[in-house]
Amino acid sequence: MGRPGFNCRAAPTTAYRKDAAARCNLVRACHFVRRLCSSEMPSYGLTTPASRRRTPDIKAWSGSSSVVDKSLISTSCTPVATGDNRLRVAVDVDEVLGRFVYTLNKFCKDQYDMEYGVGDYWIYEFAKIWGCSQERSNQIVHEFFRSQHFKDGIPVVPGALEALTRLSESNYELVVVTSRQHVIQDATLRWLDRHYSGLFQEVYFGNHFALEGKSQRKSDICRTIGARVLIDDNPSYALECAAAGIHVLLYDWGGAYPWSKLPPHAGAYNPDLIRVVQDWGEVERELASLAQRLRATADNT
Ligand SMILES: [Mg+2]
């Protein structure tokens, strides 16, 4: 039996826990679940109140299509329109759930005397803001991942927990789709468990800007897992997903995310597919409106 709060449904874990060297080959694409099948169990979930545990099938996608166990993904993904009419919504992590750049700026100031504010990021590509190469930018960000600034925890975006709690108790199924890298997979799961415990059914990693490993486009992840809506602050992902027919709520907190603006030449997408939201209250209202429209469309077909 797995640890409370998380569950490996692909294989009986007891058989694998007897042998630390053994691994669950049914979930070989999933490092996190694979770790659950070892004898060295990580201590996630300790802060999860029993009343809020819903045994989420949290797992990570390696991004490599050659090793992804499609049957595992399909069995764990609820269809878009389920029997109880739940709408599957994908939620980004950085700048939507947590204030990543705010914390990264503090690290850069302390470590390199680089002084930037959130308002300086006219684009969410750090190399362009910092005036360095992509390689150097990646190195700095990975140093940040190993720093106390990152380990101490990134503060949450206000209002997210309350809104997501209401949404999860309503007609929405929430999953995380993040561009974050595999190297911070465990730290990300711990952070989600600490701040958003019991709210997300699954977590997927795109592994973008990584030092190693393949990456996976957000639109491909959303389509594969049946997410009809993505909440994300990055207009690049918004346009990419809208082009794939996925609805997007572009999260521009208080209108103060400089990078989170659609470019003027982005007129090719269907404007109904991308709505700008400035706080989590607006997210709730837009989702309610969207769910109603999708239901009406489904009823007419
Ligand atoms: Mg983001």
The domain spans of the chain are 77-98+156-179+215-299, 100-151
State the catalytic residue, choosing from 19, 57, 84, 92. Answer: 92
Residue 94 is a catalytic residue = yes
Q: What is the pLDDT tens value at each position of the chain, 301 positions in all?
A: 322 232 222 222 222 222 323 222 222 223 333 222 222 222 222 223 333 333 344 455 444 333 333 333 322 333 334 445 789 999 999 999 999 999 999 999 999 999 999 999 999 999 999 999 999 999 999 999 999 999 888 999 999 999 999 999 999 999 999 999 898 999 999 999 999 999 999 999 999 877 778 899 999 999 999 999 999 999 999 999 999 999 999 999 999 999 999 987 766 667 789 999 999 999 999 999 999 988 888 777 7
pTM, entire model: 0.74
Give 200 Cα–ligand 1 centroid separation in angstroms: 17
Spatial separation of the C-alpha atoms in residues 224 and 247, rounded to whole Å: 15
CATH topology of domain 77-98+156-179+215-299: Rossmann fold (3.40.50)
Give 251 Cα–ligand 1 centroid separation in angstroms: 9
Residue 92 is a catalytic residue = yes
Give 83 Cα–ligand 1 centroid separation in angstroms: 31
Give 211 Cα–ligand 1 centroid separation in angstroms: 19
State the catalytic residue, choosing from 94, 193, 232, 252. Answer: 94
Which of helix, strand or coil describes residue 111? helix
Spatial separation of the C-alpha atoms in residues 228 and 211, rounded to whole Å: 30
Strand 172-178 vs strand 203-205: parallel, antiparallel, or unpaired?
Answer: parallel
